[in-house]
Structure 1
Amino acid sequence: MEYRCVQCGFRIKTLFVQYSPGNIRLMKCVNCKAVADEYIECELMIVLIDLILHKPKAYRHVLFNVLNHERTHFQMLMDVFLGNYMFLCSFLFAIRSLLKTSAQFSRFRDLLLAILISSYFKILLTAMMVWEFPPAVIYIIDLFVLSSNTVALKVMTKSTMNRCIGACFIAHAIKFCITQAFA
């Protein structure tokens, strides 16, 4: 596998030399003469912050030097894609059948935007990278997202709370079942 310099993107064979456990020497890029990947010594949170700040160096680090494309689990990618796809499909189906949306409210783009905005609790999952939490926290956050999605759907459709709960619950349950099947 060939790595890339995070500064200039030049291909390099190795990022560091390990002399003993915990004793490494970072390699320099032959093209730009800078350290090829300084993120090797950084905490995950620093990398995440740089990704949020859209730093190309952080993206090069993750895409070329961390993710091993030969070893990337296709099952994991399918889990994320299929889970979210099934969530959106079942959500739209549940809205049509349970809420019986009117012709004036046929713009599902607005509904999807409401669901995206009301899923803001998922940002709490980033805290799990910094502090240790029990795995049950993921399910608690999912419950908060479910309730927030329900309120957003009620606001957008002016339907009854029971119908909105039903539509959101069906979509979340199908997504949960699909992702558990691939786990």
Structure 2
Amino acid sequence: MEYRCVECGNAMKSLFVQYSPGNIRLMKCERCRAAADEYIECEIMIIVIDLILQKPKAYRHLLYNVLGPKSSYFEQGLLGKLSFGFLVLDGYRSLFIDRSREQLGLSTSFSSLLWRFQKLLMDVFLGNFIFLSTFLLATRIFLSASVGSLRYKEILPAILISSYFKLFLLAMMVWEFPSSVVFIIDLFVVSANTVALKVITESTTSRCVAICSCAHFMKFLVTQVLELRSS
């Protein structure tokens, strides 16, 4: 990946000129004539707020100007860490839904706990395998003309990073929420995935919505089938 202007996505060789420690001048984009990356001078909370508000320029800053140019996601081991966190949060999501259905209190036998553990693994790993497979297949179908030489290993970290809304599931460890909150979080995840995919591929919003919706729907369908088989 290369540096990008957060406003228009134009490629940049550098984002700022440093004259001395703490004394920098932001570079201007040749296309839109705006500061290439205003977030360089912003506090981290400003970036977090803009990510929550799902502003594309915040995603360009994070995906291109912070993580992209340094080294490959694979070389840093970042992809493995993101994947692990993604799966752990998905596992907690499944446990929360099961608890809300009062399934965990039905039996405390070893065989029952083992069966539930196997169901949890199937739900998390099979569901996400179908999700990623559908996502990559839909990307090839819907974006075959616009993706070009774009590497899928750049799209995958973008999807994992934009799934940060799953972190709000941790709040359920402290406060009691109805199970419907989980599905509200899922909607925010779909929306954030769409914005990240649009930033990475520079495709239309409708195509990105179609891709993310198909992938999440297939994951939901698989988990529901597993639930019906276990009931």
Shorter-chain TM range is: 0.5 to 0.7
2:221 to 174, 177, 182: 177
Q: Which amino acid aligns with 1:102?
A: V
Could you list the runs of 5+ residues in structure 1 that have no partner in the other structure? 1-51, 53-67
Q: Tell me, in whole angstroms, the C-alpha distance in 1 between the residues paired with 2:224 and 2:216.
A: 12
Question: What is the correspondence of 1:12-161 to structure 2 with a 5 Å cutoff?
Answer: 71-72=113-114, 73=116, 74-100=118-144, 101-105=146-150, 107-161=151-205
The CA RMSD measured in Å over matched residues stands at: 1.8
Q: Which amino acid aligns with 1:103?
A: G
Show CA shifts across 1:87-113 (max 9, x none).
0000000100011153321x1111000
Show CA shifts across 1:100-141 (max 9, x none).
153321x11110000011000000001111110010000000
Q: Which amino acid aligns with 2:173?
A: M
Q: Tell me, in whole angstroms, the C-alpha distance in 2 between the residues paired with 1:122 and 1:76.
A: 17
Deviation at 1:70, TM superposition (A): 8.2
Identity of aligned residues (%): 53
Q: Which amino acid aligns with 1:128?
A: M
Q: Tell me, in whole angstroms, the C-alpha distance in 2 between the residues paired with 1:181 and 1:70.
A: 20
What is the TM-score with the length of structure 1 in the denominator? 0.60
SS of residue in 1 equivalent to 2:172: helix
SS of residue in 2 equivalent to 1:142: helix
SS of residue in 2 equivalent to 1:104: coil
Deviation at 1:76, TM superposition (A): 1.7
User: Which structure has the larger Rg?
Assistant: 1
Q: Tell me, in whole angstroms, the C-alpha distance in 1 between the residues paired with 2:220 and 2:131.
A: 9
Q: Tell me, in whole angstroms, the C-alpha distance in 2 between the residues paired with 1:69 and 1:160.
A: 50
Deviation at 1:148, TM superposition (A): 0.2
Show CA shifts across 1:24-68 (max 9, x none).
xxxxxxxxxxxxxxxxxxxxxxxxxxxx9xxxxxxxxxxxxxxx6
Q: Tell me, in whole angstroms, the C-alpha distance in 1 between the residues paired with 2:111 and 2:143.
A: 43
2:10 matched residue in structure 1: none
What is the TM-score with the length of structure 2 in the denominator? 0.48
Q: Which runs of 4+ in 1 moved over 2 A?
A: 68-73
SS of residue in 1 equivalent to 2:149: helix
Query: CA distance change for structure 1 residues 69 and 92 in 2, over 3 Å: closer, same or farther?
Result: farther
Range 155-164 or range 93-102, more displaced: 93-102
